[in-house]
Structure 1
């Protein structure tokens, strides 16, 4: 017998109407937050970032693909990973469907990672994805661009940190400072945690895994100038997880105990 409280249809309807009022209030507040996002000041991007893409070397402006708006998902896939982050992969599973609609509304959706392009292309084929995915590697794409500038994109948008930053406690992620990573941290030390599980699923150790982070950055191209308009990280990406939006409406909600999700082609292997 169910342990959840039950009631009549009339009781359910009364409770549902109360919830509806709360849902409408949340929707209105969400609309207000969207307006606040769009009202943020634009910051001109002057660095000559370079990316490796399916079409060759590209600038940040090239990633717009002729549109005026660009949404970049910072996908956790470092050069030492054997496969992309499972959480980022779950989010990216929805990109193919969304990208075509966004493209017809003057918005390009793309992913950017530090892994070499060949690695990204192989993983993209494995996952069956078609959205644009660029590599922002740590080497210069052309002689007139220094290695540091080529590598700066991930660091400048707070989705990649060095070993020294981890050890010294100077990692600023999601707009706050993180404590130093313990020098003794290892996969064995963290084996019970989700981070260690994800690191293992990517074929790497915890420190290497968390040097790359997830995020979303928005850009606009106006009069030939690129501006940065918005970035979000960590739980700020929750709305991009299509599966969680469905689970929030399921009878038992997210109902999470540990790491339950996998890459979509791995469920049948378990």
Structure 2
């Protein structure tokens, strides 16, 4: 292994040089997410049926009462390598990356996995792999073929306006590699992270940055931001802005 060992000052200079490019990439990613929030929507006219742990479910049911739904098509079914003990290795890697869903739910967003395996097998797999938190449904009709995930994995995003459903985005191939984290999931939704710094269309919901964050076992619907956390996050942001200003001067 070839290495280039330098002094602490040289190392910091190299880091700062690379940081310029990293910030450019971050800003480009934010701009791309802003474009996603302006994507046209496709009305979902067809009725779809799934099997769930509580019985039959419609696509509307998968939202669990929220406005945004992210659906990952995982390959777990007869004929897939690993069946019946395991799901596809790649899909299993995706499932292993999923962060605690309370944070997504707090942003009016539901994540669900779908496969063609029966519910009994899905329940067994979730228990074995520690994926009990992920809502996981059985596809019973043409949902996978209709939304581009009949032969390959992919992530579809939907929005619910009352009983009307819309497909708002789709990502697959290497795009699925980054999925699992709360921020990456929110960045592919039509409403985004819903924070005031985002470039979103007028009228989209937005709240002060950081203030909605909470411990995953402490979210309470409709609760005001915790006063102490507001103070802590304000102080942290002020220190960050001061550091940035000093670096530019």
Quickly name the TM-score band, shorter chain normalised.
0.5 to 0.7
**Structural mapping, 1:160-199, within 5 Å:** 160=150
Give the count of matched residue pairs.
177
* Equivalent residue runs for 1:7-26 within 5 Å: 7-26=6-25
Q: Deviations over 1:181-233 (max 9, x none)?
A: xxxxxxxxxxxxxxxxxxxxxxxxxxxxxxx4211110000132010000111
TM-score normalised by L of structure 1: 0.63
Mapping of residues 1-270 of structure 1, within 5 Å: 3-80=2-79, 81-82=83-84, 83-95=86-98, 97-129=99-131, 130-137=133-140, 151-160=141-150, 212-240=151-179
Q: TM-score, normalised by structure 2?
A: 0.68
- The whole-number CA distance in structure 1 between the counterparts of 2:144 and 2:72 is 11
Structure 1 outlier segments of 4+, above 6 Å: none
Q: Which runs of 5+ in 1 are unaligned?
A: 138-150, 161-211, 246-270
Distance 2:180 2:7 in 1: 34
Q: Quick one: distance in 2 between partners of 1:113 and 1:11?
A: 51
Residue 98 (structure 1) shift: 3.0
Post-superposition offset of 1:241: 5.8
Displacement after TM superposition at 1:7 (Å): 0.9
Paired with 1:55 and 1:226, the residues of 2 have a C-alpha distance of: 22
Whether the aligned pair in 1 keeps the contact of 2:112 and 2:134 (CA below 8 Å) is yes
Distance, in Å, in 2 between the alignment partners of 1:98 and 1:128 is: 12
- The CA deviation string for residues 48-90 of structure 1, in whole angstroms up to 9 with x for no partner, is 1000001110110100001000011111113333220112112
CA distance in 1, matches of 2:154, 2:43: 19
